[in-house]
Structure 1
Amino acid sequence: MNNSSDSGICLPSAEHMSIPVLMCLVFFMGFLLNIFSVWVFCCHMSSWSAGTILQFCLALSDALGAPVTPLLAVYFAMGNDWLFGQMLCTVTIALLSSQFYGSTIFLTLISFHRYKAVVHFNKSSRMKDKSFIMKLCAGVWLFLIAHSLVYGFGVPATKVGKVTQCHSFSQVSLTNSFFIIGCVLVSVGFLLPLSISAMCYFRVKNALTCLNNITAKSLKVKLKSQRMIRMCLIIFVLCFLPMNVIRTTAIVMVKFYHVHCYVIHQLQTAYYASWIIAGLNCFLDPLLYCFGSQNFRNAFPSFQVKPAEPQQSDTEMTTNLMLTQNNCSPRSH
């Protein structure tokens, strides 16, 4: 393992081969699942609700990182030597960043959409307007493009020792850029969406505890909503918390304690491993569509456990749920 050069710069070290192998496996399988989800949305759902549009955008964002995963596998296999030029390094960083933070944004919008539908069911909201949601999603995509370009061009590929590095903490010339971008990403890209989603879902859970005269169908909706709450919070904490914590720790170490090369190398390896963990959201989000959306399940008769029982759309189920909500005043929320 390389430790440092005579100038005190931490030279890059090769990653274990399990990193590229697992990364390719996770991202490829997640890509297939999300392409399947996109196919269901486009070919088997004749009408879309506002929630469906958000789920479709989430599926698209989850599939962005897979095309550049083979480049990363070659990069790691070649001892962290980037052979594909400046532009492909920028594209790789841009797509991975758009996948990770596009997922957090669309999960947050899904959270807020559920919050408005359940807690403020008797109030008009633009979150129920499909045309507004389409414009909102278009704005999010424009934001992701701008953010990914700033990220990609802000930390370009550079020569470190005898190898070319792409998005490595060994790129000491980019230390300030890593620090500024990392602080923005962890605060705006993770902590803010997580806080909003947690607030929305716990408010929804609190509203559901006020159900009165619960029918069997209303109880089914309550249990489904609670599963949605757990699933979204699990995705945030399990998939995206490690990556943001490790990157923040690493950029602080590189900026203020750069002489500790061994620790920085371990953090670099842990950071790449956290990409694999973050990629697991590609597996979990399709479960969100399948178990959390009646419209998605209705797209295939084989998804129905009891075909003889009339199926309700998500809007109808939410309406029936609200009819039982007699004890909670909207003002209390």
Structure 2
Amino acid sequence: MNTSDSLNASHGVLCSPEPQHISLAVILCLVYLLGLLLNGFSLWVFTCRIHSWTSGVVLQFNLALSDAIIAPLTPLMAVYFASDSNWVFGNFTCQLKIAVLSIHFNGSVIFLTLISVHRYMSVVHFNRSSLIKRKVFVKKLCAGIWCFLIISGIFYGWMFPVTTEDNHGQCLTIHQKKLIDAYFIINFLIFFFWCILPLTISVFCYSRLASSVSRINISSAQGQSAKTKSMRMIGICLLIFGLCFLPLNVVRTIGVVVKKYYPSKCRLLLQLETAYYACYILAGINCCLDPLIYFFGSRNFIRAFRRSLRVIGVRRNVENNSDSETVSQTAKRNVTFTVS
């Protein structure tokens, strides 16, 4: 324990908020600006260029929507970092930020998980009937999910108002002493239901999908391309969970535990807070990686993307892509499974 921590422990003084480096604000804005551009373009392709939607396209559209909604609030976080970690926008704006953050992260996780289940059912069990393959059911499911996300977001915003700590306005930080018990409980609920459980489901689905696709013997070049791109999409989805969501949840969990049981370890708490914001930026990279899922996962998206490039006068050679339905059709017509 260093000198400042010893003094804090002996006098029972809790740690004060400290400013973060301005580079966090710059990188945060750049990441979410790129995410806004990519997802904005994806939403335009979905709504204006794809005329026939499948159940998979419905899930991908909702994922793009959940990624895009966070971008308008990113400047508030940038100003917070630039203002010596002092929230100056009032209580309502803080609660709105918390609600939108909740909808964004939880929505991204749940739609990514549903996409993994959809891929699994469409490819591994392509000859079985399933509700997740039906567009009407998926639309109703997505509507119900959005209602749940909005209600839970409002609840989180109501639970965590702005507090003043050492003349610094604090919005959703570990320095809010009166809210640490609520943070502790809700964090573990989020960690299990919005990290461990979705990650487990996705790993199971994609491991079975990878095993199924790897056993396919494809003689045609088109079939081999579909197989390769399917494997790439699996890798991207697992990378998103492993790189973007898991570190954020792990660091936040360590932070609330340290804050609750070792509140006088100021240096450690500052390091954890900085690590959390760095992981927050990593989580924002999710918005930039998700469009690759549409690229590798939907033939309709690729065709619409190529038409869009022609509309704006860009000529490029874009390889044909295949969604899960195409893979399953290829598996039935053009391939032979090698049973190990």
Which amino acid in structure 2 is aligned with residue 195 of structure 1? T
1:205 pairs with 2:210 = yes
1:273 pairs with 2:285 = no
Which amino acid in structure 2 is aligned with residue 75 of structure 1? Y
Output the CA distance in 1 between the equivalents of 2:162 and 2:46. Answer: 38
Residue 26 of structure 1 corresponds to 31
Q: Within 5 A, what are the aligned runs for 1:131-280?
A: 131-212=136-217, 214-280=219-285
Q: Within 5 A, what are the aligned runs for 1:93-108?
A: 93-108=98-113
Cα offset for 1:312?
7.0
- Can you list the C-alpha shifts for 1:274-308, whole angstroms capped at 9, x where unaligned? 1111000111111221233211110124587379x
Output the CA distance in 2 between the equivalents of 1:60 and 1:107. Answer: 12
Output the CA distance in 1 between the equivalents of 2:230 and 2:126. Answer: 15
1:294 pairs with 2:299 = yes
Residue 74 of structure 1 corresponds to 79
Residue 317 of structure 2 corresponds to 305
Residue 118 of structure 2 corresponds to 113
Contact 2:122 2:325 in 1 (8 A): no
Which sections of structure 2, spanning at least 5 residues, go unmatched? 310-314
Residue 38 of structure 1 corresponds to 43
Residue 322 of structure 1 corresponds to 332
Residue 92 of structure 1 corresponds to 97
What is the percent sequence identity of the aligned residues? 45
Contact 2:87 2:168 in 1 (8 A): yes
Cα offset for 1:64?
1.6
Output the CA distance in 1 between the equivalents of 2:154 and 2:12. Answer: 32
Contact 1:290 1:296 in 2 (8 A): yes
- Can you list the C-alpha shifts for 1:142-190, whole angstroms capped at 9, x where unaligned? 1211222222222221111111111111111111111111101111001
Which amino acid in structure 2 is aligned with residue 58 of structure 1? L
User: Residue 327 and residue 36 in structure 1: after superposition, are their counterparts in 2 closer, same or farther (change >3 A)?
Assistant: closer
Output the CA distance in 2 between the equivalents of 1:72 and 1:316. Answer: 42
Cα offset for 1:322?
2.9
Q: Tell me the number of residue pairs that the alignment of Structure 1 and Structure 2 aligns.
A: 327
Contact 2:87 2:171 in 1 (8 A): yes
Output the CA distance in 2 between the equivalents of 1:284 and 1:168. Answer: 27
Contact 2:161 2:171 in 1 (8 A): yes
Compute the RMSD of aligned alpha carbons. 2.3
Output the CA distance in 1 between the equivalents of 2:337 and 2:15. Answer: 63
Output the CA distance in 2 between the equivalents of 1:39 and 1:172. Answer: 44
Which amino acid in structure 2 is aligned with residue 291 of structure 1? F
Residue 68 of structure 2 corresponds to 63
SS at match of 1:280: helix
User: Residue 298 and residue 253 in structure 1: after superposition, are their counterparts in 2 closer, same or farther (change >3 A)?
Assistant: same
Which amino acid in structure 1 is aligned with residue 27 of structure 2? L
Contact 1:295 1:314 in 2 (8 A): no
- Can you list the C-alpha shifts for 1:20-48, whole angstroms capped at 9, x where unaligned? 11111111121111011000000001111
User: Residue 213 and residue 53 in structure 1: after superposition, are their counterparts in 2 closer, same or farther (change >3 A)?
Assistant: closer
Contact 1:97 1:148 in 2 (8 A): yes
Residue 127 of structure 1 corresponds to 132
What TM-score results when the alignment is normalised by the length of structure 1? Answer: 0.92
User: Which of 10, 16, 38 is the matching residue for 1:11?
Assistant: 16
Contact 1:57 1:137 in 2 (8 A): yes
Cα offset for 1:69?
1.1
User: Residue 327 and residue 296 in structure 1: after superposition, are their counterparts in 2 closer, same or farther (change >3 A)?
Assistant: closer
- Can you list the C-alpha shifts for 1:82-111, whole angstroms capped at 9, x where unaligned? 111111101111112221221111111000
Contact 2:35 2:287 in 1 (8 A): yes
Which amino acid in structure 1 is aligned with residue 331 of structure 2? L
User: Residue 211 and residue 174 in structure 1: after superposition, are their counterparts in 2 closer, same or farther (change >3 A)?
Assistant: same
Cα offset for 1:315?
3.0
Output the CA distance in 2 between the equivalents of 1:274 and 1:16. Answer: 15
